[in-house]
C-alpha cells in the first residue's frame, strides 16, 4: 500500500461529486485454474494479502467464544479461515462456498495447516439451505459479498444470516465499498502490479467495480437488528465493516499466535498491516490487540 499516492487518491475521492454504477463481476463462480491458483497464493501467509488476513483474524477473535460454532460465508480457498481457526482452536468453523474447486483448495489448506476445527459445505450464501435456524453462534464473511450478482441477492444473504444466527450472536462482515472514481479503483488494483499475477490484477479491479455502495450495504444489514455497527476506512469506503461489540477478550494463546504470524511477515507486509490498521482506526475501528510492541506501531 503506497501511502502518499494512496492519500492523494483518497482526498480526490472525498471531494469528488457523482459516483460510479456497479458492474457485476463477469464470472460469479471462479472456475479458471490459473486464476484460482493466483488468488490462493496471494492469501497465503507469505502472500501479498497476508497482512489483511492477519488483521481480520484479530478482529474476529474478539467475537468468537470457546466452544462456539462459526459460519464463514464465501470461504474461498480458506487461507483466511484457517488462520482464524488457528487463533481460536476451541471454536468450530464451517466454511461455505459455491465453488467446488475453492472447497477442494480449502480442504488442502486445512490439511497443510494441521488445524482440526474446520469443516466445509457447498452452498449458496443467499439461501443457506440445509442449515438449521439459530444454529450458529457467529457468522463471518471476509471479502465475499461483492461476488453476489445484485442487491436482491445481497438482501437475501442478510435475511439468511438472520435466520441461522442465534440471538445475540456475533457478526463480522467486511467488503469493499463502491468508490467514486475509476482512477481510484485502478490505483488500488495496480498498486502492487509488479508483485502480483496479471489475473489477480484483473480480478482485483473487477471486484472493486462490483462493490456495493455503503447505502446498499446499510439497507441490507437492517434484518440483523440493532447492535451491528458500521465502520469504514477514513476518507473513502475502500473497506466497509459491519460488526457487533466484542464478545470476549482474546486469550493469551490467540495473542501469541497472532504475534508469531506478524513476526513472520516481511517488512513490507508489516508496514502494510500497520498502515491498514491506522486507516481503519481513523474510521473508528480499533484493533482488539496489537500483534507487536506498541513502539513498532508508531514507526
In this structure, are residues 52 and 83 in contact, taking their beta carbons and an 8 Å threshold?
no
Sign of CA dihedral 260, 266, 267, 271: negative
Residue 20 buriedness (CB in 10 A; 0-12 / 13-18 / 19+): middle
CATH assignment of 3-14+67-246?
A: 3.40.50.150
Q: Where are the domains of the chain?
A: 3-14+67-246
Strand-pairing partners, residue 175, are 240
Q: Could you give the CA distance from residue 172 to residue 75 in angstroms, rounded to a whole number?
A: 13
Q: Which parts of the chain are beta strand (E)?
A: 69-73, 92-97, 118-122, 136-142, 165-176, 229-232, 239-243
Confidence (pTM): 0.94
Distance, first Cα to last Cα, the chain: 16
Residue 266 φ then ψ, to 5°:
-75, 175
Q: Could you give the CA distance from residue 65 to residue 248 in angstroms, rounded to a whole number?
A: 6
Place of cell 440471538: 167
Tens place of pLDDT per residue across the chain (299 aa) = 677 899 999 999 999 998 999 999 987 555 566 666 766 776 677 788 999 999 999 999 999 999 999 999 999 999 999 999 999 999 999 999 999 999 999 999 999 999 999 999 999 999 999 999 999 999 999 999 999 999 999 999 999 999 999 999 999 999 999 999 999 999 999 999 999 999 999 999 999 999 999 999 999 999 999 999 999 999 999 999 999 999 999 999 999 999 999 999 999 999 999 999 999 999 999 999 999 986 644 44
Amino acid at each position: 500500500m503506497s501511502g502518499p499516492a494512496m492519500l492523494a487518491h483518497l482526498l480526490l475521492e472525498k471531494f469528488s461529486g457523482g459516483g460510479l454504477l456497479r458492474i457485476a463481476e463477469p464470472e460469479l463462480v471462479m472456475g479458471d485454474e490459473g486464476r484460482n491458483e493466483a488468488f490462493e497464493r496471494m492469501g497465503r501467509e507469505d502472500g501479498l494479502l497476508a497482512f489483511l488476513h492477519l488483521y481480520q483474524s484479530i478482529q474476529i477473535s474478539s467475537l468468537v467464544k470457546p466452544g462456539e460454532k462459526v459460519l464463514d460465508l464465501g470461504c474461498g480457498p480458506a487461507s483466511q479461515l484457517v488462520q482464524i481457526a488457528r487463533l481460536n482452536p476451541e471454536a468450530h468453523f464451517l466454511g461455505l462456498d459455491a465453488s467446488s474447486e475453492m472447497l477442494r483448495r480449502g480442504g488442502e489448506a486445512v490439511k497443510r495447516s494441521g488445524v482440526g476445527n474446520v469443516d466445509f459445505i457447498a452452498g449458496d450464501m443467499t439461501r443457506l439451505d440445509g442449515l438449521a435456524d439459530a444454529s450458529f453462534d457467529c457468522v463471518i464473511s471476509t471479502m465475499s459479498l461483492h461476488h453476489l450478482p445484485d442487491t436482491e441477492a445481497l438482501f437475501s444473504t442478510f435475511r439468511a444470516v438472520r435466520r441461522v444466527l442465534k440471538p445475540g450472536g456475533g457478526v463480522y462482515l467486511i467488503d469493499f465499498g463502491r468508490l467514486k472514481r475509476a482512477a481510484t479503483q485502478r490505483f488500488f488494483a495496480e498498486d502492487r502490479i509488479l508483485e502480483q499475477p496479471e489475473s489477480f490484477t484483473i480480478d482485483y479491479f473487477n471486484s472493486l467495480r462490483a462493490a456495493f455502495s455503503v447505502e446498499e450495504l446499510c439497507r441490507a444489514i437492517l434484518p440483523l437488528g440493532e447492535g451491528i455497527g458500521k465502520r469504514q476506512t477514513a476518507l473513502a469506503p475502500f473497506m466497509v465493516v459491519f460488526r457487533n461489540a466484542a464478545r470476549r477478550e482474546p486469550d493469551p494463546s490467540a495473542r501469541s499466535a497472532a504475534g508469531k504470524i506478524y513476526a513472520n511477515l516481511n517488512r513490507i507486509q508489516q508496514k502494510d498491516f500497520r498502515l491498514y490498521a491506522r486507516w481503519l482506526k481513523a474510521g473508528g475501528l480499533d484493533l482488539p490487540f496489537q500483534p507487536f510492541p506498541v513502539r513498532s506501531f508508531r514507526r
